[in-house]
C-alpha cells in the first residue's frame, strides 16, 4: 500500500502553492472580493499555465490524462488559501459532463477550451433547498423534436453568470426519486429564456439561481441520456475535490488557532496553557487527523476506481461533521476577535459550512451508511 | 497511490485464514465470544497462545532471531484482521507487546535469555506494576520503594491496577529508589521473576463487570535480586516511557470494531422498533449507527495510512491521537450495543459468561456481553494514561509547533 502522491502531483501542488503564497494571501483575497470580481482571472490563467485545468481530462481531448482524484493535492492547497475559483464546479462537474458526452462535437470543442482556460463552464444541478442525491432531480426537460424544452429553476449554480456554457441536469421522464429519466444538456447561457439571479456565496464564491423559461435545447446539445449514473459519478468527483478544499481549510484553521493559543495571553499566560483550551486544541487535531486520513484513503479508492457510494457518504459526512467541529472550535478559541470579518477564521468556517450543506448534509449520509448492509 | 496489499499478501491472508479456521478449540472460540475486555478469559487465551506458539505465530511483531515471525507491518495487520473476523481471543498484551519488545531493545543479554522464551511460549505471564493508589495519571509520583541491600532490593509499598496479577507468575514494576531531584529521576525499572516472594500479597479487585480482572499487590519487605533491574538505577522512567509507547501503539483496532458494528446491525434486524417494523429500519437508529460506522471507517483509514508509513502517522502526537480515538470509539460501540439489547442488558449473568459454564445465557450471545462490555470499556479512557493526559500531550504538540 502506498498513500503518497506522485512526484508530478507534488510538483504541481508546490507550484500552485508558490503562486498562491505570493499572490493569494488572505488580504489579497479580500481585496479581490471587494473589487466585485467573481474570481481572479489571473489565477485561473495561472492554473491553465501550470496544467491544472487540463489535468483531469483525457489526452485525446487536450487533457493530461488524470482524473478528479489527481487534483486532490491542488484542491487541498486551494482550500488552505480559501480560493474562490470554481475548480470543482467547472472541472469535475461541467467538464466531467462534457467528457461523459463522448464524441459529441460541441462537447469536444468546449472541453478543449475549458482545459486551455479559454472558457469556463457551470453545472446547474441543485433545486429547492438542495439535492441529497441525483435521483431527486425534478426540473422538467420536455421532449421537443430531437431535443428538449427546459422549464424551471436551478439553485446555487456556481459561476453561472460568468460561464461560457451551462450543463443542466434535468428530468426527461419519471418523477423525483426515480433514477431513470435524467438527462444532461448543454445550454448557452445567452439563450432565450435563461435568466440569472447572481449573488456572492457566504464563502466568497460567485453563484446564481438560474431560471429556464421555455428554453430550447437542440438534439445536438443532449450530452448524456439516461444520465443518473454519470451524474452520481460527477457529484462524487466534485465531493472529493470540495472535501479536499475543506480539509485544506481545516488544516489552516488548526495552524492559525494553534498559533493564536500560543501567543494570546490572558491572566498573564498563553491561553493554550489552560487545560480547557488545550483539550479543545487536542480535539481539533484528532478531528483533522481523521478527516485527513479519510480524504487520503478515499482519494486512493477513487484512483483505483473503487470509490463506492458508501465510501462517498463516509467522506462527505466525516469532512462535513469534522469540519464544522474544527471551525466552531477555532472561532471559540479566538474569542471576540474570532467573530470579526477582519480575521480569516470566520471565512474558513464559512467555507467548511458551505461544503457541509451541499450534496446532502452529514445526517443524510450517516443514514445512508447506517442503512446499507 | 496504491490501495492494494498486493497478491503476495493476499496469499498470505489465505494461509492465515486456513489455519485460523481449524486451529482454535471450541473452548478458545467460546472464550473469544465471551471476551468483554482487552483481556480475554485467561485459561483459554493462554491455550490459544500455546497453539500459536507451536505454529510459530505467537509474536508477530518480534524480530525473527527472538522467535518472532519476521512479518511485515502489513502481514501483522492482516493477521490481526483475520483473528478479529473470527472473534478469536486476542493474545494478552503484557508479555508479547510490552515487556518482550522492551527487553529486546533495552534488556541485558542475560535478561533476554532468561525471560523472552517464557514470554514467547506462554509459560510465563507478566503483570504490570505501575500505578499506585496515589499515582495514576501522575505516574511519576509513585512511592513504592526499593532500597538496595547487598545484591538485592527490599521493596515496600503497593501497586494497583495490576491486570491479571492473580494469574501472573512474573511482574515488571516501577519503584522509587531516590527521593531527591525531579520525581522522574528517582525511579527504577525492575523485573520480578516470581510473584510469590515472601511478603508479597496479591488481592483481586472485582470490577464493574463483576469479574476480578484487576488486582492490588502489597509489598512488605520483599527481597528481590538486583539482577532484575532494566537499565541503570534511577533511570526507570525512560524505560517505562519506552514501554508505554508499545502500550499505546496498538493499531489494528478497526477490524474488531467493524465486526461489532455488523453484529449490532444484525441484532437490530431482529429487534422490533416501537415505531413499527424492525430497529434496523428506524431512521434515527440508521443515522446514529451510520455516524458510528463512519467514525470507525476514519479510524480504519488512519490505521491503513499508519501501516503504510504515511507522514500523517509519523506526527509526534500519533500514539495519543490513536489511543484517544480508539478508546472513545470502543465506548460508543459499547453504548450502541446496550442500546440495541435494551432490557436484555439488565440481568446480571456472571455464571453464563464463564467459559465452559453449564448456565445458559438468558438471551443470545450479543445480549450476554453487551452490558459487561460496556462496563469494562469505561476503563479504556482511563488506562494507559487517561484521555485527559493524552489530550494534554496532543495539545503540547500543537503548541510546540508555534514556539
Over the stretch B100-123, which tens digit does the pLDDT of each residue have? 999 999 999 999 999 999 999 999
What are phi and psi for residue A208, nearest 5 degrees?
Answer: -155, 150
Q: With 80 as the cut, is the pLDDT of residue A297 above it?
A: yes
| CATH code, domain carrying A249 | 1.20.140.10
Residues A235 and A355 occupy one common structural domain:
yes
Give the mutation candidate from B265, B300, B323, B398 for the A interface (greatest A CB count, under 10 A): B398
Chain A residue with CA closest to B7: the answer is A1
Spell out which residues of chain B touch residue A298, defining contact as CB-CB under 8 Å. 301
Which of B91, B108, B141 delimits the end of a domain? B91
Q: Which helix (H) or strand (E) holds A254?
A: helix A228-263
Residues A206 and A148 occupy one common structural domain:
yes
Spell out which residues of chain A touch residue B294, defining contact as CB-CB under 8 Å. 313-314, 317-318, 365-366, 369
Spell out which residues of chain B touch residue A4, defining contact as CB-CB under 8 Å. 1, 310
The span from the CA of B205 to the CA of B213, in Å, is 7
In this structure, is residue B55 part of a structural domain?
Answer: yes
What is the per-residue pLDDT for B249?
A: 43
Residues B272 and B227 occupy one common structural domain:
no
CA-based nearest distance B289→chain A, Å: 5
Residues A156 and A112 occupy one common structural domain:
no
Residues B369 and B313 occupy one common structural domain:
yes
Distance of CA B12 to the CA centre of its chain: 25
What is the per-residue pLDDT for A226?
A: 97
| CATH code, domain carrying A204 | 2.40.110.10
Q: With 60 as the cut, is the pLDDT of residue A260 above it?
A: yes
Which of B235, B260, B278 delimits the end of a domain? B235
Which of B178, B200, B235 delimits the end of a domain? B235
The span from the CA of A121 to the CA of A95, in Å, is 7
Cβ within 8 Å of residue A163, ≥6 positions away: A90, A94, A120, A121, A122, A189
Q: List Cα–Cα distances, B147 to A2, A167, B156, B402, in angstroms.
A: 52, 82, 9, 44
Give the mutation candidate from A253, A265, A284, A289 for the B interface (greatest B CB count, under 10 A): A289
Residues B63 and B157 occupy one common structural domain:
no
Q: List Cα–Cα distances, A314 to A237, A308, B85, in angstroms.
A: 14, 10, 22
Residues B395 and B291 occupy one common structural domain:
yes
Confidence of residue A272 (pLDDT cuts 50, 70, 90): very high
Residues A149 and A276 occupy one common structural domain:
no
The span from the CA of B186 to the CA of B174, in Å, is 10
Asked if A1 and B2 come within 8 Å (Cβ–Cβ), the reply is yes
The span from the CA of B247 to the CA of B297, in Å, is 23
Residues B298-323 as b/e (b if ≥16 CB within 10 A, e otherwise) read bbbbbbbbbbbebebbeeebbbbbbb
In this structure, is residue B45 part of a structural domain?
Answer: yes
Nearest CA-CA partner of B51 in B82, B36, B29: B29
Nearest to A290 among B293, B315, B325 (CB): B325
Chain A residue with CA closest to B281: the answer is A371
In this structure, is residue B351 part of a structural domain?
Answer: yes
Asked if A369 and B403 come within 8 Å (Cβ–Cβ), the reply is no
Q: Which helix (H) or strand (E) holds B395?
A: helix B387-400
Nearest CA-CA partner of B33 in B378, B384, B357: B357
Q: Which helix (H) or strand (E) holds B159?
A: strand B152-160
Residues B208 and B148 occupy one common structural domain:
yes
Residues A358 and A258 occupy one common structural domain:
yes
What is the per-residue pLDDT for B89?
A: 96
In this structure, is residue A278 part of a structural domain?
Answer: yes
In this structure, is residue B108 part of a structural domain?
Answer: no
Nearest to A262 among B283, B289, B403 (CB): B403
In this structure, is residue B121 part of a structural domain?
Answer: no
Chain A residue with CA closest to B313: the answer is A289
Residues B167-206 as b/e (b if ≥16 CB within 10 A, e otherwise) read bbebbbbbbbbeeeeebbebbbbbbbbebeeeebebebee
Q: Which three cell numbers stand for residue B330?
A: 470502543
What are phi and psi for residue A182, nearest 5 degrees?
Answer: -95, 150
Is beta strand B200-205 parallel, antiparallel or unpaired with respect to B214-225?
A: antiparallel
Count how many Cα atoms sit within 13 Å of the Cα of residue B280 in the half-sphere of its side chain: 14
Q: Are A1 and B307 in contact (CB under 8 A)?
A: yes
Task: For residue B209, give the 3-state DSSP assignment.
Answer: coil
In this structure, is residue A2 part of a structural domain?
Answer: no
In this structure, is residue B221 part of a structural domain?
Answer: yes
List the domain range (segments joined by +) for residue B184. Answer: 126-235
Over the stretch B201-240, which tens digit does the pLDDT of each residue have? 999 999 999 999 999 999 999 999 999 999 999 999 999 9
Spell out which residues of chain A touch residue B283, defining contact as CB-CB under 8 Å. 367
The span from the CA of B209 to the CA of B284, in Å, is 29
Mean pLDDT of the B157-173 span: 97
Asked if B394 and A272 come within 8 Å (Cβ–Cβ), the reply is no
Q: List Cα–Cα distances, B116 to A73, A236, B33, B99, B107, in angstroms.
A: 46, 52, 30, 9, 10
Chain A residue with CA closest to B283: the answer is A367
What is the per-residue pLDDT for A10?
A: 97
Q: Which three cell numbers stand for residue B106?
A: 533495552
Q: Are A30 and A93 in contact (CB under 8 A)?
A: no
* Number of structural domains chain B divides into: 3
List the domain range (segments joined by +) for residue A252. Answer: 230-371
In this structure, is residue A106 part of a structural domain?
Answer: yes
| CATH code, domain carrying B80 | 1.10.540.10
Chain A residue with CA closest to B262: the answer is A373
Is beta strand A222-225 parallel, antiparallel or unpaired with respect to B170-176?
A: unpaired
What is the per-residue pLDDT for A372?
A: 75
In this structure, is residue A65 part of a structural domain?
Answer: yes
Q: With 70 as the cut, is the pLDDT of residue B246 above it?
A: no
Asked if B291 and A3 come within 8 Å (Cβ–Cβ), the reply is no
Instruction: Pick A62 or B145 by higher pLDDT.
Output: B145
Give the mutation candidate from B323, B395, B401, B403 for the A interface (greatest A CB count, under 10 A): B395
The span from the CA of A309 to the CA of A307, in Å, is 7
Asked if A370 and B395 come within 8 Å (Cβ–Cβ), the reply is no
Over the stretch B22-76, which tens digit does the pLDDT of each residue have? 999 999 999 999 999 989 999 999 999 999 999 999 999 899 999 999 898 889 9
What is the per-residue pLDDT for B128?
A: 96
Asked if A314 and B403 come within 8 Å (Cβ–Cβ), the reply is no
The span from the CA of A288 to the CA of B238, in Å, is 30
Query: Is B266 part of the annotated catalytic residue set?
Result: no
In this structure, is residue B188 part of a structural domain?
Answer: yes
* Number of structural domains chain A divides into: 3
Residues A192 and A259 occupy one common structural domain:
no
Q: With 80 as the cut, is the pLDDT of residue A296 above it?
A: yes
Mean pLDDT of the A282-307 span: 97
CA-based nearest distance B69→chain A, Å: 21
In this structure, is residue B96 part of a structural domain?
Answer: no
Instruction: Pick B3 or B32 by higher pLDDT.
Output: B32
Chain B residue with CA closest to A275: the answer is B392
Q: Are A134 and A169 in contact (CB under 8 A)?
A: yes
Give the mutation candidate from A66, A280, A284, A297 for the B interface (greatest B CB count, under 10 A): A297
Residues A100 and A155 occupy one common structural domain:
no
Q: Are A365 and A294 in contact (CB under 8 A)?
A: no
Asked if A285 and B397 come within 8 Å (Cβ–Cβ), the reply is yes
Q: With 90 as the cut, is the pLDDT of residue A164 above it?
A: yes
Nearest to A306 among B3, B288, B300 (CB): B3
| Greatest alpha-carbon span in chain A | 77
Spell out which residues of chain A touch residue B394, defining contact as CB-CB under 8 Å. 281-282, 285-286
Which of A97, A120, A143 delimits the end of a domain? A120
Choosing from B81, B82, B216, B247, the catalytic residue is B247
Spell out which residues of chain A touch residue B397, defining contact as CB-CB under 8 Å. 285
Amino acid at each position: 500500500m502506498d498513500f503518497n502522491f506522485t512526484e508530478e502531483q507534488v510538483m504541481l501542488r508546490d507550484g500552485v502553492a508558490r503562486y498562491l503564497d505570493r499572490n493569494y494571501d488572505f488580504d489579497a483575497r479580500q481585496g479581490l472580493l471587494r473589487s466585485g470580481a467573481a474570481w481572479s482571472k489571473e489565477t485561473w490563467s495561472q492554473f491553465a499555465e501550470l496544467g491544472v485545468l487540463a489535468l483531469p481530462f483525457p489526452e485525446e481531448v487536450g487533457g493530461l490524462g488524470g482524473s478528479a482524484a489527481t487534483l486532490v493535492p491542488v484542491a487541498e492547497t486551494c482550500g488552505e488559501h480559501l480560493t474562490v475559483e470554481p475548480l470543482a464546479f467547472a472541472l469535475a462537474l461541467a467538464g466531467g459532463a462534457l467528457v461523459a458526452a463522448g464524441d459529441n462535437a460541441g462537447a469536444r470543442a468546449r472541453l478543449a477550451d475549458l482545459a486551455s482556460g479559454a472558457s469556463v463552464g457551470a453545472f446547474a444541478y441543485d433545486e429547492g433547498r438542495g439535492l441529497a442525491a441525483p435521483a431527486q432531480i425534478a426540473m422538467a426537460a420536455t421532449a421537443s423534436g430531437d431535443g428538449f424544452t427546459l422549464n424551471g429553476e436551478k439553485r446555487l449554480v456556481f459561476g453561472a453568470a460568468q460561464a461560457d456554457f451551462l450543463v443542466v441536469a434535468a428530468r426527461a421522464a419519471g418523477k423525483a426519486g426515480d433514477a431513470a429519466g435524467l438527462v444532461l444538456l448543454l445550454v448557452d447561457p445567452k439563450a432565450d429564456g435563461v435568466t440569472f439571479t447572481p449573488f456572492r456565496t457566504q464563502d466568497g464564491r460567485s453563484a446564481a439561481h438560474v431560471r429556464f423559461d421555455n428554453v430550447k435545447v437542440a438534439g445536438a446539445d443532449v450530452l448524456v441520456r439516461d444520465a443518473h449514473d454519470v451524474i452520481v459519478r460527477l457529484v462524487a468527483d466534485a465531493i472529493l475535490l470540495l472535501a479536499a478544499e475543506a480539509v485544506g481549510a481545516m488544516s489552516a484553521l488548526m495552524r492559525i488557532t494553534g498559533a493564536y493559543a500560543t501567543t494570546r495571553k490572558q491572566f498573564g499566560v498563553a491561553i493554550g496553557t489552560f487545560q480547557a483550551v488545550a483539550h479543545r486544541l487536542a480535539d481539533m487535531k484528532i478531528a483533522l487527523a481523521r478527516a485527513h486520513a479519510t480524504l487520503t484513503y478515499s482519494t486512493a479508492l477513487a484512483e483505483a476506481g473503487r470509490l463506492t457510494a458508501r465510501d462517498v457518504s463516509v467522506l462527505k459526512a466525516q469532512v462535513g461533521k469534522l469540519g464544522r467541529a474544527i471551525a466552531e472550535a477555532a472561532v471559540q478559541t479566538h474569542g471576540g476577535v474570532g467573530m470579526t470579518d477582519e480575521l480569516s477564521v470566520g471565512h474558513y468556517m464559512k467555507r467548511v459550512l458551505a461544503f457541509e450543506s451541499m450534496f446532502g448534509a452529514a445526517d443524510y449520509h450517516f443514514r445512508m451508511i447506517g442503512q446499507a448492509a | 497511490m496504491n490501495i492494494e496489499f498486493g497478491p503476495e499478501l493476499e496469499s498470505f491472508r489465505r494461509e492465515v485464514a486456513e489455519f485460523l479456521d481449524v486451529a482454535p478449540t471450541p473452548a478458545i472460540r467460546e472464550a473469544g465470544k465471551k471476551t468483554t475486555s482487552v483481556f480475554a478469559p485467561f485459561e483459554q487465551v493462554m491455550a490459544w497462545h500455546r497453539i500459536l506458539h507451536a505454529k510459530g505465530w505467537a509474536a508477530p511483531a518480534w524480530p525473527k532471531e527472538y522467535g518472532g515471525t519476521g512479518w511485515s507491518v502489513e502481514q501483522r495487520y492482516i493477521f490481526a484482521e483475520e483473528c478479529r473476523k473470527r472473534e478469536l481471543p486476542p493474545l494478552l498484551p503484557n508479555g508479547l507487546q510490552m515487556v518482550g519488545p522492551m527487553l529486546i531493545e533495552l534488556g541485558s543479554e542475560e535478561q533476554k535469555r532468561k525471560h523472552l522464551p517464557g514470554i514467547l511460549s506462554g509459560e510465563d505471564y507478566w503483570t504490570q506494576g505501575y500505578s499506585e493508589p496515589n499515582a495514576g495519571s501522575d505516574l511519576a509520583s509513585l512511592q513504592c520503594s526499593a532500597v538496595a541491600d547487598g545484591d538485592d532490593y527490599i521493596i515496600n509499598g503497593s501497586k494497583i491496577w495490576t491486570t491479571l496479577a492473580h494469574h501472573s507468575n512474573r511482574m515488571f514494576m516501577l519503584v522509587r529508589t531516590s527521593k531527591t531531584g525531579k520525581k522522574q529521576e528517582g525511579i527504577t525499572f525492575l523485573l520480578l521473576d516470581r510473584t510469590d516472594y515472601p511478603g508479597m500479597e496479591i488481592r483481586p479487585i472485582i470490577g464493574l463487570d463483576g469479574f476480578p480482572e484487576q488486582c492490588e499487590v502489597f509489598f512488605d519487605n520483599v527481597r528481590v535480586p538486583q539482577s532484575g533491574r532494566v537499565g541503570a538505577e534511577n533511570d526507570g522512567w525512560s524505560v517505562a516511557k519506552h514501554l508505554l509507547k508499545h502500550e499505546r501503539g496498538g493499531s489494528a483496532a478497526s477490524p474488531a470494531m467493524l465486526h461489532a458494528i455488523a453484529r449490532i446491525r444484525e441484532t437490530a434486524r431482529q429487534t422490533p422498533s416501537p415505531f413499527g417494523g424492525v430497529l434496523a429500519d428506524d431512521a434515527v437508529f440508521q443515522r446514529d449507527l451510520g455516524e458510528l460506522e463512519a467514525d470507525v471507517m476514519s479510524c480504519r483509514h488512519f490505521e491503513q495510512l499508519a501501516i503504510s508509513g504515511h507522514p500523517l502517522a509519523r506526527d509526534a502526537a500519533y500514539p495519543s491521537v490513536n489511543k484517544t480515538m480508539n478508546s472513545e470509539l470502543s465506548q460508543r460501540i459499547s453504548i450502541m450495543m446496550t442500546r440495541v439489547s435494551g432490557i436484555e442488558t439488565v440481568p446480571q449473568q456472571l455464571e453464563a459468561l464463564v467459559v465452559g459454564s453449564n448456565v445458559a445465557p438468558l438471551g443470545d450471545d450479543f445480549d450476554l456481553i453487551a452490558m459487561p462490555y460496556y462496563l469494562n470499556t469505561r476503563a479504556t479512557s482511563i488506562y494507559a494514561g487517561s484521555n485527559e493526559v493524552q489530550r494534554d500531550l496532543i495539545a503540547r504538540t500543537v503548541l510546540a509547533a508555534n514556539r
